[in-house]
Amino acid sequence: MTFQDLGLCPPILSALKALDYEKPSPIQAKAIPPALQGRDVLGCAQTGTGKTCAFATPILQQLHGRKPEPHFGVRPIRALILTPTRELALQIQESFVAYGKNLPLRSAVIFGGVGQQPQVDKLRAGVDILVATPGRLQDLHDQGYIHVEKLEIFVLDEADRMLDMGFIHDVKKILRWIPQKKQTLFFSATMPPEVQGLVDSLLVDPVKVAVDPVSSPVEVIDQKLYYVDRGNKSKLLSSLIKAPGVKNALIFTRTKHGANKVAGDLAKEGIPSAAIHGNKSQTARQQALADFKSGRIKALVATDIAARGIDIEELSHVFNYNLPDVPETYVHRIGRTGRAGRGGTAVSFCEFGEKELLAPIEKLLKRPIPVVEGHPYPMENFEAPKRDKHGKLVNPDDQEARQAARERKKQRDAAKSAPAPKAPPAGRGGSARQTPKPSSVGRGQAPAAPSSAAAVKKQPGYRPSKTLDQALSAMAPKPSKGRGGSGARGGGPARQPSAPSRDPAYEAWLAEERRIQAQRFKDDMAGEVIMDATARFLAPKAPPRSADPAPKAPSPRQSRPPKREPAKKSPGGGRTAPSVGRDAPARRSSTPKRSPAAAVGAGSNPTRPASPKEAPKRDQKRRPDRRRGPMEPTLRLGSQKDSTEQQGSLMRPYYFNPDED
Ligand code: AMP
């Protein structure tokens, strides 16, 4: 069977050829033909089976074959793909770009945890295919930026994980406002009753395609088990990673604290590594992932949530530094290697206290994991693990992480109550790069400055890490040599708030800092600011310098972003646009209804969506507004940032302390 046999068109076939896809995977062979015919498809398949291509190629081909009717002057969203995590969303959109590189279709990805403006700008410009996580999709819909009247195809990806992560209610909400009449492609690795309920309500006479059960990676992956004491795991890990044949390694730890610690231990051993978990900024996570994919770092240490769905081609090794509580998680973890039938190695460490976790895993695998004997760190500690009064295992990693979190909290409290240090010196070197505490800075001079580390994090434009080194949470932040001194933003001492100051040195520093910020916006994320791949991709492109005429001052309306308020149902049943800017109250009564395009555009010309090029200028013009909060706020403030933060997730054991770093 070839891709040609499936009925795919030449532009897609040549894109697949360029990716070295020789023949379709089973899910592709089964799902592509009915999907091309417009049938609903129910696919039982997990990440790693090639399901993205199974739904993306028929979508591309169908959309290409049907001319879009412009919707209020822009191309409408005709395909919507809903997926649970940011990482998956990114990968899916990258796949659409790759498979559709010979087709004139536009795609975009939206997810939480990053500023919404670049995403809104993309939507304003019009997209054919939108990949989204549920939270951000609902947020942007509530603000009136999402219009799906012309939706033709809907994909619900990883439905069972949506359920695991507590997203099912968001999904149900979304299903209420997308059109009833559409083609639906539904993917889920397992079919718990809630998911079955969704299937029944959503799919019409679906073609059912099922491929390899969840335990399929077991067949192609070389699995090994090392019995090793907790205190020796780190040494064993670095010795194994240094061995020839380990090209790269994804290491799973139980806790975020553990991930940081392991990454630090590996770094000390000279193994370039990074940690990713839910407490890392999106930028740091994307940067670490990009560095890992490009081979700049050899080891990526992750918690289960952070690593969900990440697809690293040619991952040679997965290490289970800790065994997971849930046996299926073991299969998901090792499935990160051995992609698309390729081989891979999965190494698991088991300390005496973890033996109880091993049994259910082996039961699921229906075979024991081969034990490696005669290694340099054999298990010597056979002490019975501690249990709580209910007889439940007390996990020492959890305890250690809690303790570390308590200590960090103590340190933070102590830092808050300590007398304020001196004002920072002028200039860009030394501690002048620290975020100062200009409580005495007057109105209109600068945004109110933070008085605590938490407040620093909420500052507009705050980035905890500017370099990979800083993203490596386990390693102490190093002074940035290029800048001189210890002033790298995000570093330990650099977070210390400094004294209130109006002294000239501080004012000079502040002016310089603002100049740099303004330049940064103008340069469209150029220079030393590390942006994640999506942010870079979604960011409005800077016009070519030479051809760039002097920028016109934006009109007052252009400078006003749409007010964040839920779109309302108009009396006629249509959805009204969010009101715009500070004159919203007056406008609200006199202009109760605007076209969706105007809602999206919100520029000087209500019938024309604002050009993406205008966005940075608008941002520069924005003033901090107490009512509206900081520029480009992360939505869902105060609640979960994204799917990885969801309450009720089956992965809750990894989230026992939100303060943990
Ligand atoms: P997915 O299950 O969609 O996440 O895909 C898993 C991995 O398999 C991705 O890295 C794809 O690029 C790759 N892949 C998908 N289909 C094929 C194919 N037919 N041949 C080779 N690689 C594939």
As a three-state string, the secondary structure of 635-650 is CCCCCCCCHHHCCCCC
Q: What is the reported pLDDT for 422?
A: 58
Report the DSSP pairing between strands 344-350 and 221-227. Answer: parallel
What spatial distance separates the first Cα and last Cα of the chain, rounded to whole Å?
50
- Asked if residue 503 has pLDDT above 80, the reply is no
Q: Which SS3 state, helix, strand or coil, does residue 213 take?
A: coil
Say which residue the tokens 């220079």 belong to: 527
- Mark residue 40 as left, alpha or beta (left: phi above 0; alpha: psi -120 to 50; beta: remaining): beta
Distance, in Å, from the CA atom of 336 to the CA atom of 344, rounded to the nearest integer, reads 9
Q: Which SS3 state, helix, strand or coil, does residue 231 take?
A: helix
Which of 1-5, 49-53, 335-339, 636-640 has the lowest average pLDDT? 636-640
How many other β-carbons are positioned within 10 Å of the β-carbon of residue 349? Answer: 26
Q: Are 588 and 565 in contact (CB under 8 A)?
A: no
Q: Are 80 and 132 in contact (CB under 8 A)?
A: yes
Give the CA distances from residue 602 to residues 54, 77, 191, in Å, rounded to whole numbers and listed in that order. Answer: 37, 18, 43
- Asked if residue 125 has pLDDT above 70, the reply is yes
Which of ligand 1's atoms lies nearest the C-alpha of 52?
Answer: 3
By most ligand atoms within 8 Å of CB, the mutation choice from 44, 53, 188, 337 for ligand 1 is: 53
Q: Are 300 and 288 in contact (CB under 8 A)?
A: yes
User: 48 C-alpha to center of ligand 1: Å?
Assistant: 6
User: Any idea how long the chain is?
Assistant: 661
User: 86 C-alpha to center of ligand 1: Å?
Assistant: 18
Q: Are 126 and 74 in contact (CB under 8 A)?
A: yes
Nearest CA to ligand 1 atom 12: 50
Contacts 24+ apart (CB under 8 A), 631-638: 631/460, 631/461, 632/115, 632/116, 632/117, 632/460, 633/115, 633/460, 634/112, 634/113, 634/114, 634/115, 635/112, 635/116, 635/135, 635/136, 635/139, 636/112, 636/135, 636/139
Residue type present at position 267? A
Distance, in Å, from the CA atom of 43 to the CA atom of 185, rounded to the nearest integer, reads 8
User: 50 C-alpha to center of ligand 1: Å?
Assistant: 4
Distance, in Å, from the CA atom of 527 to the CA atom of 541, rounded to the nearest integer, reads 14
Which of 188-192, 542-546, 636-640 has the lowest average pLDDT? 636-640
Dihedrals phi, psi of 131, to nearest 5 degrees: -105, 130
Q: What is the DSSP letter of 154?
A: E
Residues contacting residue 172 through CB under 8 Å, at least 6 positions apart: 198
User: 47 C-alpha to center of ligand 1: Å?
Assistant: 9
Distance between alpha carbon 134 and the CA centroid of its chain, in Å?
12
Which DSSP string do the residues of 21-80 spell out, in sequence order?
Answer: --S--HHHHHHHHHHHTT--EEEE--TTSSHHHHHHHHHHHHHHHSPPPPBTTBPPP-EE
- Asked if residue 111 has pLDDT above 70, the reply is yes
Q: What is the reported pLDDT for 255?
A: 92
Q: What is the reported pLDDT for 412?
A: 87
Which H or E element spans position 139?
helix 134-142
Q: What is the reported pLDDT for 381?
A: 86
* pLDDT > 90 in the chain, percent: 38
Beta strands in 291-414 (DSSP E): 299-302, 317-320, 344-350
Which of ligand 1's atoms lies nearest the C-alpha of 45?
Answer: 2
Say which residue the tokens 């009720």 belong to: 648
Residues within a 6 A CB radius of ligand 1? 21, 24-25, 28, 47-53, 311, 313, 339-340
How many other β-carbons are positioned within 10 Å of the β-carbon of residue 372? Answer: 15
How many other β-carbons are positioned within 10 Å of the β-carbon of residue 269? Answer: 16
Closest CA to 499 of 411, 436, 573, 444: 436
- Of residues 273 and 283, the one with the higher pLDDT is 273
**Banded pLDDT at 306 (limits 50, 70, 90):** confident
Distance, in Å, from the CA atom of 482 to the CA atom of 505, rounded to the nearest integer, reads 21
Distance, in Å, from the CA atom of 185 to the CA atom of 159, rounded to the nearest integer, reads 11
Buried b / exposed e across 241-258, counting CB within 10 Å, b at 16+? beeeebebbbbbbbbbbb
- Of residues 396 and 518, the one with the higher pLDDT is 396
- Of residues 11 and 575, the one with the higher pLDDT is 11
Which of ligand 1's atoms lies nearest the C-alpha of 23?
Answer: 19
User: 449 C-alpha to center of ligand 1: Å?
Assistant: 47
Which of ligand 1's atoms lies nearest the C-alpha of 21?
Answer: 20
By most ligand atoms within 8 Å of CB, the mutation choice from 13, 16, 21 for ligand 1 is: 21
- Asked if residue 614 has pLDDT above 50, the reply is no
Q: What is the reported pLDDT for 604?
A: 34
**Banded pLDDT at 371 (limits 50, 70, 90):** very high
Distance, in Å, from the CA atom of 363 to the CA atom of 357, rounded to the nearest integer, reads 11
User: 594 C-alpha to center of ligand 1: Å?
Assistant: 43
User: 119 C-alpha to center of ligand 1: Å?
Assistant: 27
Tokens standing for residue 196: 């079955």
Q: What is the reported pLDDT for 510?
A: 55
Which of ligand 1's atoms lies nearest the C-alpha of 46?
Answer: 2
Say which residue the tokens 């100049």 belong to: 515
Beta strands in 387-541 (DSSP E): none
- Mean per-residue pLDDT over the chain, rounded: 71
As a whole number of angstroms, the longest Cα–Cα distance in the chain is: 81
